Amino acid sequence: MTDRPEGTVNPAVRNDAVMEFLLTRRSRPAKTLKAPAPDRAALRPILTAAARVPDHGKLEPWRFIVLERAALDRLAAMAATHADRIGLAADSAAKGIAQFSESPLAVAVVHVPRPTDKVPEVEQTLSAGAACLALLNAALASGWGASWLTGWPAHDADFAARALGLRPGEWIAGFVHIGTEGAVPPERPRPDLDAITTWME
């Protein structure tokens, strides 16, 4: 036992470096990411961190698909064909194609709903979103540039199923693009904390 008053910070577990990272972290624009990207050995601890998120019931309602260069080229071609087939506007089509053609590496975070009466699906969805953010932050903390995107390739169920082999009920929570960052983007305005926070006594 210690004499530390209840409710005070425990200096033994405080991590100022992590807090500083969280207070200053920011995504890097996907279009600025270049090769090289992390290899499999470098990506493994990043994925391990991404899987260490709140997960009520230990359901693991997410999985990862790592898209390396050859896979990204195939998906870019499939995206072009699909966009043409459904008559997508040229600018929207180009953005979706570029997600794959210009990315040095991407990880698709797939939401995998698990049938259970104990954990509502919305909690499983939130866990998948947490996995996306944990993956993004782990990549940034490891010294890579990273960006979490969705866009029509994530939201078009037919494309996602064809391109990524998703099973019924699965969907893309996000594509996390990872690579070597170019120029660090300028800081952008952040939320007004007082405007979004209510203190209840």
Binding site for FMN: residue ranges?
25-27, 52, 56, 148-150
What DSSP element (H or E) covers 39?
none
Q: If 0-12 CB within 10 Å is exposed, 13-18 middle and 19+ buried, where does residue 163 land? A: buried
Say which residue the tokens 């997410």 belong to.
62
Helical segments of the chain, H only: 16-24, 40-50, 69-85, 90-101, 121-141, 152-155, 157-164, 193-196
Binding residues: 25-27, 52, 56, 148-150
Q: Are the C-beta atoms of residues 4 and 155 closer than 8 Å to each other? A: no
What is the DSSP track for 172-193?
EEEEEEEEB--SPPPP-----H
